[in-house]
Amino acid sequence: MPGETKGVNGRRRGVLPLLFHFRENGGLPLLFILLIFLPLADMFLHIGREVPIWEKRKLAARPRFEWQKPWDYLRGCENFFSDHFGFRSWLVQRHNLLTVRCFGASPTDKVVIGRQGWLFMARESEQRNEMDYFRRRRPFTPAELGHWRLMLRQRRQWLEERGVVYLFLVVPNKSTVYPEFLPAHIRRPDGQSRLDQLLAELGKEKDFPVIDLREKFLAAKGGQRLYSKTDSHWNDLGAYIAFAEIMERLSARFPDLRRPSPDQYAVRRSGRAGGDLAQMLGLQKRHYREQAIRLQPNAAVEVRSVQSRKVIAPYIRVSISESPAAGLPTLLLVHDSFAHQLKPFLGQRFRRVVYVWDWGLHFFKDLIEREKPAVVIDEIAERMLCDLKLENPPELNRPAAP
């Protein structure tokens, strides 16, 4: 039977008597020592199977010894071992699975376990926490609002003087659109969010070209899911609403622009592993699965990549696509990771699109002068308003009319 073994005389011996026998012969302490040193052995022999866990941070690197800083080396060794000891990823995954399944709690402050299988982003950094944003815990100061207004006004003015259309697009937080799936203890108080504050400040400008998608999303979410349940990003349906709104704004400048219609796309659904939030828990394959929702154009336009992810500065990458049959001229899009779902829509409408993946949302004056786009779009996720400080190059920092 399982859990039993046979003694030398052929009689069956249970596991518990075997352990007593092992202990009486001094083997139990030896087994304990072997278990202690097993993780260390795995570090060198790699006898265990690595389990992928995306912790959204850089693991500690192997330290280098310097005679002038011996204590730094010891601290580095401790940090390295904490991040790389044997069977670490497997143990972390099992701990996370136990915490989620048995207690319904999140093992990390970076992810919130919501209702009905929904996951939400929480702490991304010391200053950026979507749940704190949801709770209105740290509103903009008047000085911060004034700085944002000045920076955006300068960008708009500089571009308009050169005949370039400017749009500022804010993608709503997942918790903003689906608060009903948050845990009951996370509640939104009355008052303005940082986005509410910023829009009120920009309302002091004349017809400032900002795209606020919240009303559109709240109206559309009843008939279709706009965000992934296990990912912090929207799906193709959410990105399409943003794309349609961009096209609507541009129609005043480009009268021949064909407005998009949902009938031009077919909805495809398929199962896949969990998204980035499930990956941060290490449970994207076994515990969390996801239904991917994609929009496939009925009549696709050829889009070719002419430059793929060229690094122009730390954490800033540029890629370029071209579509000769498209009707609109060049677009420059400065974006974060939400733009990945936007690219297929925009790439088929603009003859040339320059994508600048930049979490800092800088203003790329030299690139604009070289590419001469007809449209520039700054796209930002709502939660980035927690800690992003917008800056412009010196050429834009001239006094602007109040």
- Express each pLDDT in 220-239 by its tens digit: 998 899 999 999 999 999 99
Average pLDDT over residues 4-33: 53
Q: What are residue 149's phi and psi, to 5 degrees?
A: -60, -45
Q: In 3-state terms, what secondary structure has residue 373?
A: coil
Indicate the residue type of 229: K
For residue 338, report the phi and psi dihedrals to the nearest 5 degrees.
Answer: -70, -20
- Measured at the alpha carbon of residue 52, what is the angle toward residues 181 and 280, in degrees to the nearest 5? 25
Mean pLDDT on 136-140:
95
Higher pLDDT, 50 or 287: 287
Q: Lowest-pLDDT range, 59-63, 145-149, 227-231, 389-393?
A: 59-63
pLDDT tens digits, 242-255: 999 999 999 989 98
Confidence class of residue 105 from pLDDT cuts 50, 70 and 90?
confident
Choice among 271-275, 284-288, 336-340 with the minimum mean pLDDT:
284-288
The closest alpha carbon to 367, from 307, 305, 303, belongs to: 307
Reading the block at residue 7, the tokens are: 């003694």
Encode 360-389: b = buried (16+ Cβ within 10 Å), e = exposed. ebbbbeebbeebebbbbbbbbbbbbbbebe
Round the average pLDDT of the chain to a whole number and report it.
85
Q: 357: which strand partners?
A: 317, 335
Give pLDDT tens digits for 308-330: 888 888 889 999 999 998 989 99
Structure tokens at 313: 């500065």
Residue 221 in tokens: 């979410």
Categorize the per-residue pLDDT at 8 as very low, low, confident or very high, splitting at 50, 70 and 90.
Answer: very low
Helix (H, G, I), strand (E, B) or coil at 295: strand
Find the length of the chain: 402
Separation of alpha carbons 21 and 96, rounded Å? 35
pLDDT of residue 212: 97
Spatial distance between the Cα atoms of 202 and 53, rounded to a whole number of angstroms = 41
Residue 234 φ/ψ, nearest 5 degrees: -80, 170
At residue 247, the pLDDT reads 96
Instruction: Please give the pLDDT value at position 4.
Output: 46
DSSP for residue 285:
T
pLDDT at 75: 77
The model's confidence at residue 10, banded by pLDDT at 50, 70 and 90, is very low
**How far is Cα 330 from Cα 171, in angstroms, rounded to an integer?**
22
Closest CA to 350 of 373, 334, 316: 373
Task: Please compute the mean of the pLDDT values over residues 84-99 and round it to a whole number.
Answer: 63
Tens digit of pLDDT for each residue in 344-365?
Answer: 999 999 999 999 999 999 999 9
The residue with greater pLDDT, 228 or 301, is 228
* Percent of the chain at pLDDT exceeding 70: 77
Mean pLDDT, range 299-314, rounded to an integer:
86
pLDDT of 93 reads 63
Taking the C-alpha atoms of residue 311 and residue 296, their distance in angstroms, rounded to an integer, is 30
| C-alpha dist (Å) from residue 389 to 23, 143, 149, 157 | 64, 12, 12, 19
Element containing residue 16 per DSSP (H, E): helix 15-24
Residue 153 has pLDDT above 70, yes or no: yes
Report d(CA 345, CA 337) in Å as an integer.
15
**Does 214 score more than 90 pLDDT?**
yes
Q: Which of 298 and 105 is assigned the larger pLDDT?
A: 298
* Alpha carbon distance 104, 115 (integer Å): 10
For residues 139-151, give the mean pLDDT.
97
